[in-house]
A and B are shown apart, each in its own frame.
Chain A
Amino acid sequence: EPEVTQTPSHQVTQMGQEVILRCVPISNHLYFYWYRQILGQKVEFLVSFYNNEISEKSEIFDDQFSVERPDGSNFTLKIRSTKLEDSAMYFCASSESGRTGYTFGSGTRLTVV
């Protein structure tokens, strides 16, 4: 079964540092997403990406966040200057067409200290 792969699985960073979370979506998928989940809470939408541009972003996705698809396979989320409240699980997801269930990756646990 095809998978969405995320690296690293766990990252610890100092407050104010930049982090890049990496994802390899399923190869024939066209829609890409980032979600986050603060410990014990629901999964929240961050950003959607289609045709090499952002389709929609949430209020959480402020100027400190950016996404990129630098080549045909990777999809990255960058947090420019991390804050303590950025600590969460970050999930990448992809879908073949928009209106089908996504496949989520296993997530990157980001801990900001």
Chain B
Amino acid sequence: GQQLNQSPQSMFIQEGEDVSMNCTSSSIFNTWLWYKQDPGEGPVLLIALYKAGELTSNGRLTAQFGITRKDSFLNISASIPSDVGIYFCAGQMSGGSNYKLTFGKGTLLTVNP
């Protein structure tokens, strides 16, 4: 099956620092998504990317859909304590009536105040 390699696995940063994480895949996707998960909660959509090369921002978050359609990155600028959580990338290779997501293993972000 499709595999996503997400890195880094974890990050410890100081409040105010910028953060970058990325995902790569051996196969192409039509859509890349970035989710955040807090403990005991479901993933919450942060950014969705639909076109190769697309660069999209959502507040302090910026994500890009790689030109090859096999990678994506997420940047968080000026981190704050509430950014703590697990960030997952997810790829979607849509077709027919199936739109399943393949998730990366996540990046655990810790922000020290």
Q: Which residues of A contact B (CB under 8 A)?
A: 4, 31, 33, 35, 41-45, 48, 50-51, 55-56, 58, 91, 93, 95, 98-107, 109
Contact = CB atoms under 8 A, between A and B. Distances in A.
17 contacts: A31-B97, A33-B100, A42-B105, A43-B88, A43-B90, A43-B101, A44-B103, A45-B102, A50-B98, A55-B97, A58-B100, A93-B42, A98-B94, A99-B31, A100-B48, A101-B33, A101-B48
Q: Which 4 A-B pairs have the closest CB atoms?
A: A104-B42, A98-B99, A101-B45, A56-B98
Nearest to B45: A101
B94 A99 contact: yes
A45 B100 contact: yes
Interface residues of B, number: 27
B41 A106 contact: yes
A93 B41 CA distance: 13
A43 B103 CA distance: 6
Interface of B: 30-31, 33, 35, 40-45, 48, 50, 88, 90, 92, 94, 96-106
Given A42-B104, A43-B88, A99-B30, A48 B98 contact: yes
Nearest to A3: B42
Nearest to B50: A99
B106 A104 contact: no
B42 to A, nearest CB: 4
Contacts of B33: 101
B44 to A, nearest CB: 7
A5 B62 CA distance: 29
Given A56-B100, A91-B43, A100-B48, 9 more contacts: A43-B103, A48-B97, A95-B99, A99-B31, A103-B45, A104-B35, A105-B42, A106-B40, A106-B42
